[in-house]
Each structure stands twice: as C-alpha cells, then as structure tokens.
Amino acid sequence: MSERPQPLIVGAGPAGIRAAQALVAAGLRPLVVDEAPACGGQIYRQRLVPDGRSTRDLYGSEAPKAEALHRDFAALDGKLDYWPQALLWNLRDGRADIMVAGTSRQVTYDGLLLATGATDRILPIPGWTLPGVFTLGGAQIALKSQGCAIGNRIVFLGSGPLLYLVAWQYMKAGAKVAAVLDTAPFSAKFHLLRGLPLFPGIVLRGMRMTAELKLGGVALHYGVGDVRIEGKNAVEAIAWRQDGLEHRLACDGIGYGLALRSETQLADLAGCRFAFSSRDRATLPERDTAGRTSMPGVYIAGDGAGIAGADAAERSGERAALALLQDRGLPHDATRAAALEAELARIGRFRAVLEAAFPFPAHWVKDIADSTTLCRCEEITAGEVRAAIGQFGVHELNRLKAVSRVGMGRCQGRVCGAAAAELLAHETNRGIEAVGRLRSQAPIKPVPLTLALAAQQGAAE
Amino acid sequence: MPLLRRLIRADHPAIPFTLDSERCEGRAGDTVLTAILTQVERLRLSEFSASPRAGFCQMGACQDCWVVLESGERLRACSTALTAGMSILTRRARTA
C-alpha cells in the first residue's frame, strides 16, 4: 500500500483538519496544502504573533472548538505532510500544481479531498470600492488576526449571521459601531424560533448578541434598501432607504456581506459535475451525503460545495475522509459515518431556518444603477454589462464574460460572479438557475508567469 | 488619515519600512496591508480609473490589494507579512 501516492487535502480549516485526522488515524499519510501560514481556516484563523489576547477574546463562545482544532492538527505533526503558505493553482491529469516557497511543485495524489471554504457574497452598491469598505469576513480578519478596527465609526451592512457576530465582536473589542443595517425586514427574524428546537444554544446566543448591541447603543435598522456609500477618497457616510424614508449616517468604515459563497474552482478543474442549488442560489459541485463528488476519488467537505458553517465543516471533513477510506478498501467506522451524516442533516435543517431569517436580497438587482461598478478588477459598470447583454443577446455567463470581461479579472469572478449571474437572470427574465456558471481557469489565483511556464514545460517533458 | 485603527499590539517591536519613500514603522505581526493602512488610507490606485483602493476581503480572494515594491516585485498585501526594509509604492497606477 505504501506504493500508492498519498491522499491530498486542500485547505486546513475545520473540514481539512478533521479529514486529515481521520486519514492519519487509519494509517495513511496525507499531504495537506493550505494558503494560510497557520491552520484554522478563516473562521479559526490564527494571529501571526501572540498579542496578549486569549482564544476566548478571539473566538468568543467558539474558543473551545478553535483550541481543539489547532491542538489536534498540531498533534498530527510528523504523521502527515503539511505545506502552509502553499497555493494549489492547477489540477490536470491526476496531478496538482502547487506554488510553495516561490517555486511550483507537481504532486501526484491518490484521493483528493477539497476543503476550500467560502468567501463573502456581494452585490454591488454605489461606493463599494472606496477605501474603508471591507467584506464582513475581511472586517473580522482585521480584528481577529491583526487586532485592528476598520475605522473609528463603523457601520455593518448586509445579511447573514456574520453581520451581527462581527458587529458584536467589534463592540466587545472597544470599537465604535454606529449601526447595523440589515437588508431583511425584522419579521424575517421570527423564523429563528423554528431553529430553537434544533440548536437552542445558537439561537439564544444570537438573541443575546442582538440585545447587547442594542444595550451598547448600536442602532439596528431592518429592511434597508437602496444603499449608497459616499466619500471622495475614502468612506465618509452611508445612505439608505427604509420604510419609504431616506436615512444617512456619517461613518469611516463599513463591513458588508450578504452571507457566503462557495469556493468551487478546484472542483471544477477536477472535472466534478455541478448542479444548481436553490438554497445557495448558485451552481455547485454535486456531492452525496458522504462527500463523494461525481469524480471517483474526489471528495468535498465544508463550505466549498454549499454553505453550512464551521460545525458542519468539521463533521463533513471527517465524513468525507471515511468515504475515502472505504473507497480505498480500508477499514472504516460505518457507525461513526452514520452518526456524522445524521448531525449534518440536522445542521442542514437549521441552515434552511437561517436562510429564511437572513434572506438574500435578490430584489436589489433591479435597482443596481448603471453607473455602479460591478466588477472591481476590470472596473466594469452594471450599465456596461446590461449593454453587453442586450447588444449580443447573451443568455449564458461565460458568453457574458467573453463579451463584457466580467469575471475575467484577477479574482476570476469570486467577487462579481454572483452579481453578474443575478443581473443576467434579471435582464433576460429567467431564473438564476438558467444562466449557468463561470468556468474556472488555471491558475485559480495569480501566480508569476515564469512559474506557470516552468510548470507547463515540466508537464510537456 | 489612516484607514485602520490599531486596538492592540501597539507596543510590539517596530518594523521599519518605506511607503512612497517616506520612512514608516509597522509592528511585529503586521501584514503588509495592516502596516500600510495604519499609516494612510489607501493601498494603490486602480488600473483603469486610478481610483483609490484599500483591499476588500483580506483573505486572499478578491486580489484587490496587490502592491508593488521598489524592486518591481508584486505582492498581495493581505497575505504577506511585513518584513524590515520593504520599500512599498502606492502611487503607481498600474500594478498588474
């Protein structure tokens, strides 16, 4: 068996860590590749240096989970290969191109487990490219990992549990939070009561945070729309419409996000089949309840094939690893696998509740002004995209990319892709499921040209 | 005015660097993004409209925070640790 190449795990967040642990426990020696300098993923991201804060300060109620993951991964030292600060930028012919320490290395693997996570989902609004506007995730990283606030007077805008969590974390850290602007009406929050029987602790914690924000003097506004960010060289104010009335608030930092979107590029390069998910409003890699994709030997765990959060990521990481073991003809704990799937199903039901309580403001799309920048890499406005759709009779996202350059920039549509899909669907009077998805291209993130060329030559030899 | 406000780590060892030839100090544990944005309010000017940018996602996804060193080397500010002696330019419009 030692003749077989090692399994490859991409990502060292909660899913990747639990997957690695399960493979090591079964006697395998996986290679774990991760872009960050230390394990934990975005949710349990570690600081570059100790800074006097406790894990409780950093991760709040989730501190025990963060500590356990960091500790358990450290305990695997010597039993696996771990490449931090490494970017897996291409998959082809069963091999992976990985940039590490300034060179590209080619790795053959037997079993690929993708735990690539998610980033914030965004719709463009006027002024969103101004300095001082960060994603909710970005605002959280500034605080958690760097101990910085994104301004002196901060507004948090959007939808999703992260909206209130980040606002609360900023307030607790001593930053001035001026307001939380929720895109959903207050009535949507009553859906959370349906979540009480499933996960009472999470629902009550959310309610407590909201109450503490109010007690702390943070204004909470619901049903916010027509949002505009004002400023010349940086954020100066935010304006919005609510119940037919205009509102405006001076601020110098804004955290913005509309829940999360999956990072699916590597699943695409691996040849996995995709299917539309109405819950995520995105076309995502297919996976069964164990984490198997349509490609033999390729597994997905965590948020990379649909958003379910960190607790689900831990479980789906372990579950996918058990599937890999089973497919390899190795002993695996079927009872444990069934228990994990049951827990994942319960989290999935809770996820539906959260989706109702923090809905995506799909109706915003029709109001995106023509002058608003849609693609921040290539600086393409919504008006230019609309014009391209009309002029070329575009019905599909990759065609739209070809004629308008949307999604062609350095981020490869990570930031603008969801908005481009929503806009295309709206302009052509079709459902979001009908417009397709942006195909992923290697390198999935920028790598030096010389390095890509060297890898090509290596492959040709 | 700086974009980011440092809540902690203010007393950590200083790391000297230059920003558009001006001498600055970051702190041990800073990313390049943090080091720049605790001094000024932007990282770069955008390629096409030369509008100010200061990053967005801080997790290596949006690619909005690439800056140039005087040596010509490009780096992604949010995922690069600050090292002593870096000479960072923010004034050049074209960084791609």
| Model confidence pLDDT, tens digit, residues A225-237 | 999 999 999 999 9
pLDDT at site A458: 66
Residues 6+ apart with CB under 8 A from A74: none
pLDDT at site A449: 77
CA A73, distance to chain mean position in Å, is 22
On whether the CB atoms of residues A410 and A446 are closer than 8 A, the answer is yes
Closest CA to A23 of A65, A70, A74, A76: A76
A151 touches chain B (CB under 8 A): yes
Minimal Cβ distance to A119: which of B8, B55, B59: B59
Query: From its phi and psi, is residue B33 left (phi > 0), alpha (psi between -120 and 50) or beta?
Result: alpha
On whether the CB atoms of residues A45 and A144 are closer than 8 A, the answer is yes
Task: Verify whether the Cβ–Cβ distance B41 to A52 is below 8 Å.
Answer: no
Closest CA to A218 of A249, A187, A258: A249
Residues 6+ apart with CB under 8 A from B72: none
Assigned token pair, B31? 């990313």
What is the Cα–Cα distance from A140 to B12, expressed in whole angstroms? 21
Which residues on chain B are in Cβ contact (under 8 Å) with A158?
none
Whether B85 has a pLDDT exceeding 90, the answer reads: yes
Assigned token pair, A154? 């901060």
Task: Verify whether the Cβ–Cβ distance A53 to B96 is below 8 Å.
Answer: no
Closest CA to A419 of A438, A394, A444, A393: A438
Q: Distance from A440 to chain B by nearest Cα, in Å?
A: 14
Task: Verify whether the Cβ–Cβ distance B53 to A129 is below 8 Å.
Answer: yes
Q: Which chain B residue has the Cα nearest residue A137?
A: B57
What is the Cα–Cα distance from B10 to A44, expressed in whole angstroms? 23
Query: pLDDT per residue over A22-75, tens digit each?
Result: 999 999 999 999 999 999 999 999 999 999 999 999 999 999 999 999 999 999
pLDDT at site A3: 77
- Chain A residues 202-231 within an 8 A CB cutoff of chain B: none
pLDDT tens digits for chain A (461 residues)? Answer: 457 999 999 999 999 999 999 999 999 999 999 999 999 999 999 999 999 999 999 999 999 999 999 999 999 999 999 999 999 999 998 899 999 988 899 999 999 999 999 999 999 999 999 999 999 999 999 999 999 999 999 999 999 999 999 999 999 999 999 999 999 999 999 999 999 999 999 999 999 999 999 999 999 999 999 999 999 999 999 999 999 999 999 999 999 999 999 999 999 999 999 999 999 999 999 999 999 999 999 999 999 999 999 999 999 999 999 999 999 999 999 999 999 999 999 999 999 999 999 999 999 999 999 999 999 999 999 999 999 999 999 999 999 999 999 999 999 999 999 999 999 999 999 999 999 999 999 999 998 877 777 777 766 55
What is the Cα–Cα distance from A236 to A250, expressed in whole angstroms? 6
What is the Cα–Cα distance from A309 to A262, expressed in whole angstroms? 11
pLDDT at site A453: 74
B52 touches chain A (CB under 8 A): yes
R_g over Cα of chain A? 22
B11 touches chain A (CB under 8 A): no
pLDDT at site A461: 55
Angle between helices A417-427 and A382-392 (to 10 degrees): 50
pLDDT at site B95: 42
The structure's pTM equals 0.96
Task: Verify whether the Cβ–Cβ distance A377 to B63 is below 8 Å.
Answer: yes
Task: Verify whether the Cβ–Cβ distance B56 to A253 is below 8 Å.
Answer: no
ipTM for the whole complex: 0.96
Candidates A54, A122, A146, A378: best to mutate against B (most CBs of B within 10 A) is A146
What is the Cα–Cα distance from A233 to A132, expressed in whole angstroms? 9
Single-letter amino acid, residue A322: L
Closest CA to A160 of A303, A368, A361, A315: A361
Q: Kind of pairing, strands A274-277 and A282-285?
A: antiparallel
Which residues on chain B are in Cβ contact (under 8 Å) with A234?
1, 3, 41-42, 52, 54
pLDDT at site A376: 96
Q: Kind of pairing, strands A373-375 and A380-381?
A: antiparallel
Closest CA to A226 of A87, A104, A366: A366
Which residues on chain A are in Cβ contact (under 8 Å) with B28?
49
Q: Which residues pair with A253 in a beta bridge?
A: A154
Assigned token pair, B4? 């980011």
Minimal Cβ distance to B62: which of A52, A173, A411: A411
